[in-house]
Amino acid sequence: MQLTNPFKSLPNPLKNVTNPFKTFSTIELSLLVVFIIYIILPIDTPTFLSGAIENPITLVVMFGITVYLFMYSNPILAILYIFVAYELLRRSSKPTVIKAVQHTPTQVTKDKEMKQMNPKKAETLEEEIV
């Protein structure tokens, strides 16, 4: 008795799918590794670069690089670059929170300032009229 494989006659849907990593060039593969390392590791942006990264011109350049990668490179690399650009902007952003508590004077200080601005008069209005 001979056993037949019932799955042999079914078409393999993954037969025509190519490995996406085979289409990477050497430069793209090295960029992929650098991007993954940058996303995984908590690398802070140097302070002298953080001001330049938040510049509007730099944002336009980053958008141009994204469009270029989508058009002329592997889409996996372009999608990963979007995450890298987001992380770069997030890590280089300066905290803009102003600590209002530090600059708000206490009530005692406010009262002293008000007394200085409004000196006490020797005579009241009623005394002047009489």
Q: How many domains does the chain have?
A: 1
Rounded CA separation 10/37 (Å): 41
The answer to whether 77 and 30 are in contact (CB under 8 A) is no
Query: Is position 54 within any domain?
Result: yes
The predicted-structure confidence for 89-119, as pLDDT tens digits, reads as follows 999 887 665 666 667 778 898 888 888 888 7
**Mean pLDDT computed over every residue of the chain:** 82
Query: Is position 75 within any domain?
Result: yes
Query: Is position 38 within any domain?
Result: no
**Predicted confidence band at 126 (pLDDT cuts at 50, 70, 90)?**
confident
Give the residue numbers spanning the domain of 54. Answer: 46-93
Tell me what pLDDT residue 102 has. Answer: 67
Which stretches of 1-130 are DSSP H helices?
26-40, 47-53, 56-72, 75-92, 100-103, 107-117, 125-129
Rounded CA separation 31/23 (Å): 14
Whether the predicted model's global pTM rises above the 0.75 cut: no
Query: Is position 104 within any domain?
Result: no
Query: Is position 62 within any domain?
Result: yes
